[in-house]
């Protein structure tokens, strides 16, 4: 999707206050650290966004973000942004460079549908009876918690189908493979920013794909002060629990044994990224360029094109999570996500296997997905 500007499209039925655009003298660098505190069921109880903006260029600025936010507190002497019906509005004057920082409190009920990872907690006592965890994820009596992590990023997209020319195909796949093997706090390469907007080849209609952003999940599951017994995929034992490092494309479950009064400790870093296993060249080739030099069959080229399309779509979906608050200002963006146990239960105030999942992809796109412009604003329900 390219060339879609929902803020300029009059037929969307948006409210006038949501049609205003940001105005900045040059560019804005935006960093958002989103922390999700989950309650006894695993549902978000507290969601905060620590945001840092760097305004570049001299002149007046007004940065509008869709939010919605419930509260804003300025950090480091920053005057906090104004909240207009939940919309986050930064405004002022930049002498050439202006740094802004604030802690924004979001509505956990609204954000539950937007966050990349969904967590659910189920407790059963030693007799196998279901029971509710106490505040702070404490066990009411001896038993076992089943924690299920679910990738919450699925989105349907329509792409071109066909077979790509082998040279450009190998170049794009190698670029995606290098990025996938280096999971870090960054935005993966996407069409128009690290990847070409299209790849030459033979076009053969269009295809609707259910696109999922693979989530790189890293962190720890612990039982502070207890005799930890934690089991689950992609884990390694550490004092008091396990460390976790894997890629989640669908769902994975973990079992944690708790004694009466013991609590579950959780610290997960979640990064929308790419899955290296989906862009690994066929053996014995170590790169896609080497694979291309081996004169692959037409069938192999088609399969490789399918892999390129799926990975490019996943990268585009991952990039949609930066910026999380959906600002429309030009410049770089990065959002990170941390999941912890909430200290106390929250109230929702809204309207009341770590393995890649095989996609049902039967053809491939030649036009790569460039979905990270203004079109992403449509993701938030205005």
Query: What pLDDT digit, counting tens, does each position of 74-98 carry?
Result: 999 999 999 988 899 999 999 999 9
Q: Mapping DSSP to helix (H, G, I), strand (E, B) and coil, where does residue 170 land?
A: helix
Structure tokens at 81: 């942004």
Rounded to whole angstroms, the Cα distance separating 333 from 330 reads 9
Q: Between residues 267 and 343, which one has the greater pLDDT? A: 267
Distances (CA, A) of 75 to 53, 100, 172: 12, 8, 41
Give yes or no for a contact between 258 and 126, defined as CB atoms under 8 angstroms apart. Answer: no
- Percent pLDDT > 70 in the chain is 84
Mind listing the pLDDT tens digit for each residue in 247-295? Answer: 999 999 999 999 999 999 999 999 999 999 999 999 999 999 999 999 9
Rounded to whole angstroms, the Cα distance separating 367 from 180 reads 20
* Phi, psi torsion values for 179, nearest 5 degrees: -65, -45
Ramachandran sector of residue 139 (left: φ over 0; alpha: ψ -120 to 50; beta: rest): beta
pTM for the predicted model, two decimal places: 0.84
| H or E element at residue 290 | helix 288-293
Distance of CA 242 to the CA centre of its chain: 23
| H or E element at residue 127 | none
Burial code (b: 16+ CB inside 10 Å, e: under 16) for 289-309 equals eebbeeebeeeebbbbbbbbb
In Å, the largest CA–CA distance within the chain is 67
Mind listing the pLDDT tens digit for each residue in 125-164? Answer: 999 999 999 999 999 999 999 999 999 999 998 888 889 9
Rounded to whole angstroms, the Cα distance separating 271 from 214 reads 8
* Phi, psi torsion values for 100, nearest 5 degrees: -125, 145
pLDDT given at position 100: 96
| H or E element at residue 303 | helix 298-319
Tokens 């479950």 sit at which residue?
Answer: 253
Rounded to whole angstroms, the Cα distance separating 262 from 138 reads 5
Pairing of strands 143-151, 117-125: antiparallel
């Amino acid at each position: 999707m390219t060339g879609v500007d929902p803020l300029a499209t009059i037929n969307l039925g948006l409210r006038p206050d949501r049609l205003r655009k940001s105005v900045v003298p040059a560019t804005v660098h935006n960093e958002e650290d989103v922390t999700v505190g989950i309650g006894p069921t695993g549902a978000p109880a507290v969601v905060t966004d620590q945001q840092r903006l760097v305004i570049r260029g001299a002149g007046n600025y007004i940065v509008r973000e869709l939010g919605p936010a419930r509260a804003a507190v300025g950090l480091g002497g920053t005057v906090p942004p104004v909240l207009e019906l939940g919309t986050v509005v930064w405004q002022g004057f930049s002498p050439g460079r202006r740094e802004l920082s604030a802690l924004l409190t979001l509505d956990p009920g609204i954000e539950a549908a937007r966050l990349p990872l969904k967590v659910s907690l189920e407790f059963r006592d030693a007799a196998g009876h279901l029971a509710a965890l106490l505040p702070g994820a404490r066990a009411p009596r001896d038993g076992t918690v089943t924690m299920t992590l679910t990738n919450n990023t699925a989105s349907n997209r329509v792409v071109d189908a066909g077979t790509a020319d082998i040279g450009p195909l190998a170049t794009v796949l190698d670029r995606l493979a290098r990025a996938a093997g280096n999971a870090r706090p960054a935005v993966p390469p996407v069409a128009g920013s690290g990847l070409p907007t299209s790849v030459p080849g033979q076009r053969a209609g269009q295809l609707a794909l259910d696109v999922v952003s693979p989530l790189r999940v890293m962190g720890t599951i612990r039982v502070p002060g207890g005799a930890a017994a934690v089991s689950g995929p992609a884990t390694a034992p550490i004092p008091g629990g396990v460390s976790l490092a894997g890629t989640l494309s669908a769902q994975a479950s973990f079992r944690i044994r708790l004694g009466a009064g013991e609590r579950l400790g959780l610290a997960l870093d979640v990064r929308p990224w790419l899955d290296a296993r989906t862009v690994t060249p066929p053996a014995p080739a170590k790169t896609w360029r080497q694979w291309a030099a081996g004169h692959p069959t037409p069938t192999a080229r088609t399969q490789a094109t399918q892999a390129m399309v799926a990975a490019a779509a996943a990268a585009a979906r991952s990039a949609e999570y930066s910026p999380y608050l959906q600002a429309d200002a030009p410049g770089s963006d990065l959002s990170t996500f941390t999941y912890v146990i909430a200290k106390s239960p929250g109230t929702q105030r809204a309207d009341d296997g770590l393995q890649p999942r095989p996609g049902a992809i039967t053809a491939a796109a030649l036009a790569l997905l460039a979905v990270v412009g203004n079109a992403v604003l449509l993701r938030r329900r205005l």
